[in-house]
Structure 1
Amino acid sequence: MARGALNILRMQQQDSLVEYGFRRVIITITAVLCALLEIVDTTIVNVALNNIKGNMGATLTEVSWVVTAYAIGNVIIVPMTSWLSQQFGRRNYFAASIVIFTICSFLCGNAHTMPELIIFRFLQGVGGGALLVTSQTLITEAYPPEKRGMAQAIYGMGVIVGPTLGPPLGGYIVDNFDWPYIFYINVPLGVISTLFTLEFVKSPKYGEKTAIKDVDWFGILWLAVFVGSLQFVLERGQDEDWFSSDLIVCFSIASFFGFFFFLWRELTFRNPIVNLRVLGNGNLRVGTILSFILGFGLYGSTFIIPLYTQATLGWTAQESGLLMLPASLVTAFMMPIVGQLLQRGLKHQYMVAFGMLTFFIYSFWGYNIITPDTGAENFFWMLVVRGLGLAFLFIPITMLSLSTLKGKQIGEGAAFTGMMRQLGGSFGVALISTFIARTTQRHHSDLVSHVTVDNLATQQRVSGAQANFMAHGMAPNIALKSAYQGIEYAVMKQATVMSYMETFLYLGVMFLICIPFVLMVKSTKAAKLDASAMH
């Protein structure tokens, strides 16, 4: 009797995915490393686009596909991670994804033409899509239920710090080596991660695999059409002038019909590739919306500050990236503290509301300090507040989303939150870039209407600038033309700054408006998630 109980206990321990000691440390390092690899690669390539453009002899439109292709590959694969893990086993699927990501990283660095680079970047995105979401699962299930808030904190450090590391790291590599090395750097890290995964990662026991004839092939097709087309529209919309472009119109229509048929297929097919019924859970529905808003704020603010400092203040990409680093370190420092608060039972919605209030303070602060000549010292405390706010948003939103799910639903829910966070980032970057472009034009028109030739202040400014240019040896007519160009530059710069100010303000207001709705969410304490069934 005692022997039978002992055998059952041993079997339960063997089946458990919770790890201790050295094995847990290795799995944690592997998960965070893979999450960082995937996220850093979304931003590290941005600073190398000019070098790639010159080396390949490509146009700006062609080279922008290097970013777009990766994002499309990412967003297509994320919703399918739960099903793919069940089909192939989590360890095998995760290891295969790392291998695909690593091989394609090498091929990207070794590409000789733009079509080659774009195809390999897409495949790299397909491999990378699994890394981010499955890493969250691995690091969560390696910890016992009472410590899973801390596990999310460790994972969150990688997710929040990753986008910030890309630009300065990419700038350093491009300045000191060459652009292919931004891809080659993934190879040794990918090899190490693969070996650790095969040696230390366990796979949960799933039910029967889906037979080939029962695979939801049409679901996969419509999902790819829907999210792939949507991602293309978001990535390329501003460059193509949105719906004035036939290409954007076609992809928008494709995305709409892809969504319609995907929805119909998943709700009627017996073995759906994505279980939409899990969205019947109220907390998950709220969590997916909050994940979208988090992605909007995280990637939007990561996009706008480097854009402002480089385009308006004339900083390099490396300088802009380093500006964001202290704030990311604040987030990393606060993550374990937030994890401890969750473990002690502080309600998720209170923490999310505090995070959104803090993010509003950061945005309003930015609205007040942005000028054509803002110094680096003015950004420090503002960005520290941003880092604090993100720490109180990421983990509670994730835990809130999954807090009332059980078994396989947890993995399916986590896939939704991951996809929505990424789509939120894409929407954020697309809308912010469009908003800045449109409001800059509006402010420029308003300012120019006050800068007329019969205006005394304008005449004095022109005369002073012309005299200055003539003192440096310019002919009177050339000096006059340069004076007018200087005024046009100053007007455009001021119009751009005003558009950034409005962007900060509206971004903050969006988070402020969400606070009452967050506080109305179903009350839950930090849940002890059963992550054994996550994707």
Structure 2
Amino acid sequence: MQQQASLVEYGARRVIITITAIVCALLEIVDTTIVNVALNDMKGNLGTTMTEVGWVITAYAIGNVIVVPMTSWLSQQFGRRNYFAASIMLFTFCSFLCGNATGIWELVAFRFLQGIGGGALLVTSQTIITESYPPEKRGMAQAIYGMGVIIGPTLGPPLGGYIVDNFSWPYIFYINIPIGIIATLLTLQFVRSPKYAEKSKAKDVDWWGIALLATAVGSLQYVLEKGHDDDWFSSGTIILLTVTAVFGLFFFIWRELSFRKPIVELRVLQNGNLRVGTILSFIMGFGLYGSTFIIPLYTQATLGWTAQQAGMLMIPSALTTAFMMPIIGQMLQKGVKQQYLVALGMLIFFIYSFWGYKILTPDTDSHAFFWMLIVRGLGMGMLFIPVTTLALSTLKGQQIGQGAAFTGMMRQLGGSFGVAAITTYLARKNEVHRNDLVSHLNINDLDVQQRVSGMQHAFISKGMTPDVALKSAYKALEYNIMKQAAVLSYMDVFLGLGLMFLICIPFVLMVKSNKGKKIDLSEAMH
């Protein structure tokens, strides 16, 4: 405990450390979604296909997920301050290389390296913030960090849309450079490392564990990101990588449980609360990234909004979450049980999802989304800190950092699973709803004939010949059917997401409390 107390900061120094850590976490998270709106420009500029350009997102995610579980070990090897500063430098330098890339695979390679630097920024910044605050203020420290994590994915699309509309796509990477340089200098000047036990010697390093983890997680991430594009198991590559992921994971678990100094301490999962917290982190990632993915997709593809308009829509939700974070931090500090907050957050997220299910139409007005997204912001605000503290509440000492690595990785993987599952589900449901709608259209039906005739006359009045006008009327009818099928598919996704959260509530309430002890997040994350 003495060593922990020595890391507590006060006054201006603590403010500088907090800002530096939050800026680094935001850099990492914003970069996960900022490229989404620039893919089209990259495709044209680099002369590549949409499938290939999708690798710009995939490579970053793979780099992220591989490095997250190793962060605790790497911090001990090199000292937290050095490792954090080196990660910022790697991230910043790779941002410069990404902006200068002249070919798609060059850009993908630099994005992978940027993801390796970025994964460390996200997880180490949380530990730095938490340990800079005295124990009684650590709920607030979690709240400050949580604001960045929840707001980050939402800031990406509007910021990316603005930069792409007003400048060009390399600038979405160049904006990281001045921020990265300042953050590196502040880290080297102000951040301190805890005193760790002796470092592992080369022969004690779990090289096989590192290789198996990278292989298993990298393969799994590829399958999730690319499965839909390659039609899942009709692709030889997807089958091969699925088998690789399964065997890689099996041998990784065996290695970590038998090696004397494992890179990821799996035994910590014997703790019941941590197991529940890890599952809840996965579900939270599924909901957070899934809903951040589906709303801009719906508004752009179905309602025809621009990338910037779609991104701006999410801002009230993010601000609501930011407003909620300190309040939740205070409630936890006063001893309110995490289970109740998590259960309430899940219920609110269900209400948001059901609301979305009810209001979607082929021409939903932007005002209809406002209060629904405010409710989403409330729900997410009530989930992030309580889920983290619930997972770590019955762990002690070094286990806290090890356990937190799992919650961080599972949140990222939950997001990947969410996006992959939603994409596949939408494609399948689109086909089902389209066939269902077409089966109800009978060309001999008087209503259908009148509708087609009305559209034909409208096209004739615009100067078309009767036969061309008739073809155009049928095309317009087909377009309306496709649009209606898409809306029905989005409605199904909203309802499915909501039900997933609703089903979890009884299980959350069954989790045991850590009675008589306020949660100390002294080594809170990674």
Q: For the superposition of Structure 1 and Structure 2, which TM-score range results when normalised by the shorter chain?
A: over 0.9
Map 1:33-72 onto structure 2 (within 5 A): 33-72=23-62
Map Cα deviations across residues 170-224 of structure 1 (whole Å, 9 max, x no partner).
0000010000000000001111111111111111111111001111100001000
Shift of 1:428: 0.4
1:420 alignment counterpart: 410
Contact 2:130 2:521 in 1 (8 A): no
1:236 alignment counterpart: 226
1:459 alignment counterpart: 449
- Taking the aligned partners of 1:142 and 1:527, their CA distance within structure 2 comes to 18
- Taking the aligned partners of 2:182 and 2:523, their CA distance within structure 1 comes to 25
Contact 1:15 1:204 in 2 (8 A): no
In the alignment, is residue 272 of structure 1 matched against residue 262 of structure 2?
A: yes
- Taking the aligned partners of 1:15 and 1:520, their CA distance within structure 2 comes to 34
Contact 1:300 1:432 in 2 (8 A): yes
Contact 1:292 1:425 in 2 (8 A): yes
Map 1:244-393 onto structure 2 (within 5 A): 244-393=234-383
1:197 alignment counterpart: 187
Change (3 A) 1:372 1:534: closer
**Runs of 5+ unmatched residues, structure 2:** none
- Taking the aligned partners of 1:432 and 1:14, their CA distance within structure 2 comes to 43
Shift of 1:12: 5.1
Shift of 1:530: 5.1
2:429 alignment counterpart: 439
- Taking the aligned partners of 2:268 and 2:445, their CA distance within structure 1 comes to 65
- Taking the aligned partners of 1:88 and 1:110, their CA distance within structure 2 comes to 30
- Taking the aligned partners of 2:484 and 2:2, their CA distance within structure 1 comes to 66
2:481 alignment counterpart: 491
- Taking the aligned partners of 1:204 and 1:13, their CA distance within structure 2 comes to 7
Contact 1:238 1:433 in 2 (8 A): yes
Contact 2:393 2:519 in 1 (8 A): yes
Shift of 1:398: 0.7
- Taking the aligned partners of 2:437 and 2:387, their CA distance within structure 1 comes to 43
2:63 alignment counterpart: 73
- Taking the aligned partners of 1:217 and 1:173, their CA distance within structure 2 comes to 41
Map Cα deviations across residues 14-37 of structure 1 (whole Å, 9 max, x no partner).
961111111110111011111110
- Taking the aligned partners of 1:492 and 1:34, their CA distance within structure 2 comes to 43
Identify which of 124, 140, 152 aligns with 2:114. Answer: 124
Shift of 1:13: 8.3
2:391 alignment counterpart: 401
Contact 1:18 1:142 in 2 (8 A): yes
- Taking the aligned partners of 2:336 and 2:93, their CA distance within structure 1 comes to 44
Amino acid at match of 1:64: G
- Taking the aligned partners of 1:303 and 1:461, their CA distance within structure 2 comes to 35
Aligned length: 525
1:7 alignment counterpart: none
Shift of 1:452: 2.3
Map 1:89-108 onto structure 2 (within 5 A): 89-108=79-98
Shift of 1:115: 1.4
Map Cα deviations across residues 414-457 of structure 1 (whole Å, 9 max, x no partner).
11100000000000000011111100100000000111211211
- Taking the aligned partners of 1:100 and 1:358, their CA distance within structure 2 comes to 39
1:147 alignment counterpart: 137
Contact 1:357 1:511 in 2 (8 A): yes
Identify which of 192, 196, 206 aligns with 2:196. Answer: 206
Shift of 1:529: 2.2
- Taking the aligned partners of 1:334 and 1:147, their CA distance within structure 2 comes to 16
Contact 2:346 2:501 in 1 (8 A): yes
Secondary structure of the structure 1 residue equivalent to 2:513? coil
**Runs of 5+ unmatched residues, structure 1:** 1-10
Shift of 1:481: 0.6
- Taking the aligned partners of 2:68 and 2:266, their CA distance within structure 1 comes to 14
Contact 1:44 1:167 in 2 (8 A): yes
Shift of 1:138: 0.8
1:8 alignment counterpart: none
Contact 2:123 2:525 in 1 (8 A): no
Amino acid at match of 1:28: T
Secondary structure of the structure 1 residue equivalent to 2:314? helix
- Taking the aligned partners of 2:132 and 2:290, their CA distance within structure 1 comes to 32
What is the alpha-carbon root mean square deviation over aligned residues? Answer: 1.3
In the alignment, is residue 162 of structure 1 matched against residue 161 of structure 2?
A: no
Map Cα deviations across residues 241-293 of structure 1 (whole Å, 9 max, x no partner).
11111111111011001101101100101110100001111111111000001
Between 353-362 and 395-404, report the one with greater CA deviation.
Answer: 395-404
Map Cα deviations across residues 135-162 of structure 1 (whole Å, 9 max, x no partner).
1111111111111111110000000000
Map 1:3-22 onto structure 2 (within 5 A): 16-22=6-12
Contact 1:146 1:528 in 2 (8 A): no
Identify which of 14, 17, 22 aligns with 1:24. Answer: 14
2:520 alignment counterpart: 529
Map Cα deviations across residues 306-338 of structure 1 (whole Å, 9 max, x no partner).
010000000011101100001100000111001
Amino acid at match of 1:242: W
Contact 1:330 1:384 in 2 (8 A): yes
Contact 1:295 1:425 in 2 (8 A): yes
Amino acid at match of 1:518: V
- Taking the aligned partners of 1:21 and 1:473, their CA distance within structure 2 comes to 74
Secondary structure of the structure 2 residue equivalent to 1:326? helix
Map Cα deviations across residues 340-374 of structure 1 (whole Å, 9 max, x no partner).
10110000000000000000000000010011110
- Taking the aligned partners of 2:180 and 2:435, their CA distance within structure 1 comes to 51
Between 524-533 and 411-420, report the one with greater CA deviation.
Answer: 524-533
Amino acid at match of 1:174: V
